[in-house]
Amino acid sequence: MISTNRETAPQPTVPLRAAWVAESLRLAGFHVQFLDLCFQPDPLRAVADAVKSFAPDGIGISVRNLDNCNLLDPKSYLPEVRDVVRLIKARSDARILVGGAGVSILPHQVLEYLELDHAVVGEGERAAVGFFSAPDLDVAGEVAGVVCRTGAQRQVCHPAPIAAEGFVTPRLHGWVDAGRYLAREPVLPVQGKRGCAQHCLYCTYRMIEGSSWRVREPGAVVDEIVETMCHTSAREFEFVDSIFNEPEGYLELLLEEVLRREVQARFCASSLSPKGLTAAQVRLMERAGMTSLVITPESAAGATLAALQKGFDEDEVNRAAELLGRSRLRALWCFLVGAPQEDEETLGQTVAFLNRHVGSKDAAFITTGIRIYPGTGLHRLALGEGCVRPDDDLLMPSFYFSPKLTPERARGLLDCGVVHARLIHLTDTQAPVLGTLRRIGTAVGLPTPFWRYARYATGVLRWRGEESAATRRQ
């Protein structure tokens, strides 16, 4: 099993899904070796050495992201993956299956680009076991969740889900060198549910995880946390569910189990929705040891929220801000600038929101433009507006930005209009020096989340930029 993700900005992402598949293969009786390329100085050499020493009968390749989703500095990760695939095919006759979130969105296009024959759409635990257990490739290609490069484009939008009771514990510490990740930020991921029942205009979660919520048993999630604490130095965990406070009652069941078991750890959540957030939920999060969260309204303007089909309005965004503002929880507010219906007036509403609600303990993360993926409402809108062509396969990144605004004007309105809030732009997180700052922060024991130090990091980046300019002038 090879995890190909090498992106470390804004922080390296632990390959939880690939570890989940590796554990499922192990439980099915396979002898599995896991290769994480994230920190390998020479990834191709690492792959060559692993293929030579292990001599695998089957190879699973995990592709987390297709690109960096950055309109202002786009980068595709697929050329690096293709180099890995070509090396494998030159040195091994092993059966190959490619999967991961990025593959699930564009499986046939990825197969063509990588010159592979089989991919997993959606969750890989059962599909990988079935694929590598099949007596031949013809049978393997018929496994639920597997698509073939030469076959009909079936199951692309309807991945085969795993029932909630079918989840296994991923045993992340058994597959991944957790210490390498903890040295950059002392937090490990845990996932308590899959799927998403929302219909946001741009989102691909429904393609990757399915269109309904599937919740793990809270006791099993807490067991995973406790086991990880026994085997690693991790004492902080991030709930990486699509929306932490949905479906109704999930947050309460999980955090009450944390409290009942008296787990001595800190927690954060990677995606909270303003929709239906209550004071009782905020108090429960505080009691259970949560210290920070990422909240994803994407806009503070009603017209833009409606166009994005977020399922809540600006009043709920303001209510959530008031609740979180009175709490001890640090909130990173995420906004998509340039969404449909975005103009100077709607962006002005977001600027006013930032000035009013994002206080000294919080920050705002700004993404300029929205990556367009097939099968989404945004793709249909972009086709109608002529942003993309019908024959564009979207494998290489294409972006939507409101025709009523320009990225340059939007950045100017934000930089000039926002007075108090800390802004973190996506492009700012790509600087290599930030990795060094993260390692220093971890080494000296700075409290998380590290985005709270964004203003100091920005100062370092500005200083380095001025230093480089001075050097060039000399």
Tens of pLDDT, residue by residue over 410-450, are: 999 999 999 977 899 988 776 666 667 677 787 888 888 87
pLDDT score of 10: 81
Do 238 and 309 fall within a single domain? yes
Q: Is 115 inside any structural domain?
A: yes
Q: Is 470 inside any structural domain?
A: no
CA distance linking residue 248 with residue 267, whole number of Å: 20
Do 66 and 193 fall within a single domain? no
pLDDT score of 164: 55
- Tell me what the mean pLDDT of segment 287-296 comes to: 97
Name the DSSP letter for residue 67. Answer: B
pLDDT score of 457: 57
Whole-model pTM over 0.85: yes
Q: Is 468 inside any structural domain?
A: no
Q: Is 63 inside any structural domain?
A: yes
Q: Give the highest mean pLDDT range of 6-10, 120-124, 158-162, 166-170.
A: 120-124
Q: Is 153 inside any structural domain?
A: no
- Tell me what the mean pLDDT of segment 206-226 comes to: 94
pLDDT tens digits for range 29-86: 999 999 999 999 999 999 999 999 999 999 999 999 999 999 999 999 999 999 999 9
CA-to-CA separations, 229 to 293, 346, 424, in angstroms, rounded: 21, 45, 31
pLDDT tens digits for range 359-401: 899 999 999 999 999 999 999 999 999 999 999 999 999 999 9
Tokens in use for 152?
């009909």
Residues 128, 21: contact at Cβ < 8 Å? Answer: yes
| Count: domains in the chain | 2
Do 129 and 229 fall within a single domain? no
Residue closest to 337 by CA, chosen among 353, 325, 320: 353
CATH code at position 31: 3.40.50.280
Q: Is 443 inside any structural domain?
A: no
Q: Is 261 inside any structural domain?
A: yes
Decide if pLDDT at 455 tops 80: no
Do 56 and 127 fall within a single domain? yes
Reduced DSSP (H G I as helix, E B as strand, rest coil) percent helix, strand, coil of the chain, to 5 = 45, 15, 40
Do 127 and 231 fall within a single domain? no
- Tell me what the mean pLDDT of segment 137-166 comes to: 72
- Tell me what the mean pLDDT of segment 266-272 comes to: 97
Decide if pLDDT at 253 tops 90: yes
CATH code at position 348: 3.20.20.70
* Cβ partners under 8 Å of residue 364, min gap 6: 332, 333, 334, 335, 354, 358, 418, 421, 422, 423, 424
313 φ/ψ angles, rounded to the nearest 5 degrees:
-115, -175
The boundaries of the domain holding residue 329 are 186-430
- Tell me what the mean pLDDT of segment 329-336 comes to: 97
Do 113 and 243 fall within a single domain? no
The type of residue at 5 is N
pLDDT score of 161: 55
Which run of H or E residues covers position 236?
strand 236-239
Decide if pLDDT at 155 tops 70: no
CA-to-CA separations, 6 to 42, 50, 180, 245, in angstroms, rounded: 11, 17, 13, 30
The type of residue at 293 is L
Do 91 and 228 fall within a single domain? no
